[in-house]
Structure 1
Amino acid sequence: MKRAWILIPLILLTGCLEKDITKLDVEMINDKGDSIGKVTIQEMSSGVKMNFDLKGLPPGEHAVHIHDKGICKAPDFKAAGKDLNPDKKKHGLLHPKGAHAGDLPNLIVEEDESVKAELMAPKVTLKEGKASLLTKEGTSIIIHDGKDDGMSQPEGDANGRIACGKISKNKK
């Protein structure tokens, strides 16, 4: 009989742990508000892994950043705010006083306007904390028209915003 009482707390604890979000699909939209695919984000021991599966972007190199507001209002996506930067660093993966938590490597879009890529965001998490992507207001993934030069302030001279996806616990 004693063994049954030991198992009950373990079952309850396991049930609580399953509520932690470790993987999400983020729908990406273009400047017309049309879906262009998804980014699957997953908590890893080294940060958040992001798998991009998108179609309908201009070919070439494009900056991609995580922004501090979960608002994807087309056509300019300005409501998504600034790069996620809880540690008040300078912008750019190459900057000696950087990088923002939301700074990521550039995406390469193929000639057929598609991109399938995996990027790591080592300075963010899906868990609670100052670098969480799951804030009350949400955060977002922004793709820019141009590439990120890795140094220029505040967004790497990456030009306008052409795609956005809201990162949120809620589906709406």
Structure 2
Amino acid sequence: MFARNHSGAATGTSTTRVLAVLAAAGAAGAVLAGCTPDQYPTDEKGTTPPVITGDQARPGDEVNAGTTSGGVEELTVTLRNTDGGSIGTATFTTEGEAVNVNLRVAGIAPGSHGVHIHSVGKCEASNGFASAGDHLQVDGHTGKPESGDLASVTVLQNGTGTVTSTTDAFALEQIQGKALVVHEVGDTDGSHRLACGVIAE
């Protein structure tokens, strides 16, 4: 029934095995071709199609548009009275072309307290904070209100007060290292300085 080779072994079995191997190889090739549409297997190194994810910049696009680097983004200050005790804090942040000021105080006399940025970053309690100098003026400004004039803070009967205001009279870089002063109630000439703090990052 089967032809025999010189060794006497049947050749039909060998032929059947060869056909089976070829059929399996063809099926594997079909599977590979079906797994990756429009892509073809290759033995050449470095020819695998690249995988690209996320938004891709087109030629001429500005990368990271709207972001900024460097510069001052926020300044803070702790206010202390002539005894060295903390009576409040203030935070200065940039909002567009303006500066937001958020001031909180506690443990001081009720009423309206003037709040100003002064030109010198020194808060010496021994001279009643006169070391802070006069109100800040920037860019050659000489008129009223002065650059450093901020919204007054109204302190309640429980001794606490909060005020948030916005100003375009200065930039953060122009007040860094200057002094923030809270005046006593009814201080009209700026000589009665209740608390002081140097503005820092």
- Using the size of structure 2 for normalisation, the TM-score is 0.61
Q: Distance in 2 between matches of 1:64 and 1:24?
A: 16
When the two chains are superposed, the root-mean-square deviation of aligned CA atoms in Å is: 2.6
Counterpart for residue 80 of structure 1: 132
- Using the size of structure 1 for normalisation, the TM-score is 0.70
Counterpart for residue 105 of structure 1: 151
Q: Distance in 1 between matches of 2:94 and 2:164?
A: 13
Aligned pairs for 1:81-160 (under 5 A) are: 81-86=133-138, 87-90=140-143, 98-127=144-173, 132-134=174-176, 138-147=177-186, 156-160=188-192
TM-superposed deviation, 1:45? 2.1
Q: Distance in 1 between matches of 2:81 and 2:148?
A: 20
TM-superposed deviation, 1:121? 2.9
Residue type of the alignment partner of 2:137: N
Q: Alpha-carbon deviations, 1:25-64, whole Å to 9, x = none? A: 2111112111122111111224221111211111101111
Q: Which structure's relative contact order is higher, taking Cα pairs within 8 Å and 6+ residues apart?
A: 1
Change (3 A) 1:147 1:47: farther
SS at 2:109's partner residue?
coil
Identity of aligned residues (%): 30
Q: Distance in 2 between matches of 1:33 and 1:27?
A: 11
Unaligned runs of 5+ in 1: 91-97, 149-155
Give aligned pairs, total.
141
Counterpart for residue 21 of structure 1: 72
Q: Distance in 1 between matches of 2:105 and 2:148?
A: 20
Q: Alpha-carbon deviations, 1:127-166, whole Å to 9, x = none? A: 4xxxx112xxx20110111346xxxxxxx43440001111
Q: Distance in 1 between matches of 2:148 and 2:71?
A: 22
Counterpart for residue 35 of structure 1: 86
Runs of 4 or more off by more than 4 Å in structure 1? none
Counterpart for residue 151 of structure 1: none
Residue type of the alignment partner of 1:37: G
Q: Distance in 2 between matches of 1:117 and 1:61?
A: 11
Flag the structure with larger Rg. Answer: 2
TM-superposed deviation, 1:20? 1.7
